[in-house]
Amino acid sequence: MTTVELNQVSKHYGPIHAVDRISLRVETGEYATILGPSGSGKTTMLSLIAGIAAPTAGSILIGGRDVTWLPAAQRNVGLVFQSYALFPHMTVFDNVAFPMRVRRTGSAELKRRVAEALALVRLEDFAARKPHQLSGGQQQRVALARAVVFKPDILLLDEPLGALDRKLREEVRGEIHQLQRRLGITTIMVTHDQDEALSLSDRIVVLHGGRVQQIDTPINAYHRPNSRFVADFLGLANFLEGSLARSGGACAIRLASGEAVPCEAPAGLPAGKVCGVLRPEDIHLANGDARGMLDGRIAEAVFFGESVRYAVALNSGLRLVAHVPGSRSHFAEGSEVHLSWAPDRIWILPPEKGGD
């Protein structure tokens, strides 16, 4: 059983609270991602778990063992950096074997473990090559093999795909996911890339200003964010602000323009000011005689291949973004459109909590 627990962990650099009273439990075999913008504290948090940095306050447990003040070498943690950190003068075999040699592993066992690790990342035929003879994706796989060859208790990934181009990122992303599932190793990844977090994780930890904003499954964090920051950071979001009105069992958000936008709201939520989140892919666009919930005009159309992103200027002055699959009918800039969606696709944000 290799859980990771952070109990009220803080890290201060003078007046700067890089990590502020964070509590988190990552279960055995879970893939958790720490996600946040630059300066949110995510890399500091990973450094604290790895033992590269010491906390100002709080405790850290790995597998139930208090490692708060143990150096990195005594934590049995595998770590993969964005830069790979491979030794350029060593072969692939020697790079992967390095952690085993540090642990004074016998020759036969070392060779067996390295062969197994290279097989895991499909690099058995590259053992004699030097890092400069490999592609970026292959170098990343060598770094992964080196991180797991000594059978660590947990695997830590620091922006592991940041140095790769988009297509290669998607390929290696799938390989990391398969490797983690095959090994069943507890994994914590740091990234600022929302796509990586949503596609790889069992749970996402969203950080901002050194504090946890939400810990949830990718689906819940995306569709049921608990704050405007989380909604805006995880992809694109339209915000509909107004007053919640109920009538005969139905509810709607009445915008400042007077338009009523149908929605679904929690039964106990009283009437009053609310903010609803509507994802661009949940908006349906139509023209002609079709009826919609709101009307507007296409202000901008951006083609992405698999989809088209439309910025729609509503008659009320509000601007919404809609994503439409690229195979659907296209709308020319300046054309009038009608917008509609299922009322349950609007998520009413919970009231913002005041800080302390």
Domain ranges of the chain: 4-232, 236-348
Are 331 and 287 spatial neighbours (Cβ–Cβ below 8 Å)?
yes
> Token pair 């919930």 is at which residue?
293
**CA proximity to 1, closest of 186, 206, 270, 196:** 186
Whether domain 236-348 has CATH 2.40.50.140: the reply is yes
Share of the chain above pLDDT 70, in %: 96
Spatial separation of the C-alpha atoms in residues 320 and 325, rounded to whole Å: 17
| pTM for this entry | 0.90
Residue with tokens 């990844």: 189
Encoded tokens for 86: 């491979």
Q: How many CA atoms lie within 13 A of 25 on its CB side?
A: 6
User: Which tens digits make up the pLDDT trace of 313-353?
Assistant: 998 889 999 999 876 668 999 999 999 999 999 999 987 76
CA angle 64, 67, 72 (to 5 degrees): 130
- Asked which of 22-26, 108-112, 168-172 is least confident by mean pLDDT, the reply is 168-172
Question: Rounded to whole angstroms, how far apart are CA atoms 203 and 222?
Answer: 11
Q: How far apart are CA 221 and CA 215, in angstroms?
A: 8
pLDDT band at 355 (very low <50, low <70, confident <90, very high): very low
Amino acid at 36: G
The whole-number pLDDT of residue 54 equals: 95
Residue whose C-alpha is closest to residue 336's, from 301, 302, 293, 285: 285
State yes or no: pLDDT of 48 exceeds 90.
yes
Tell me which architecture the domain covering 4-232 has in CATH: 3-Layer(aba) Sandwich (3.40)
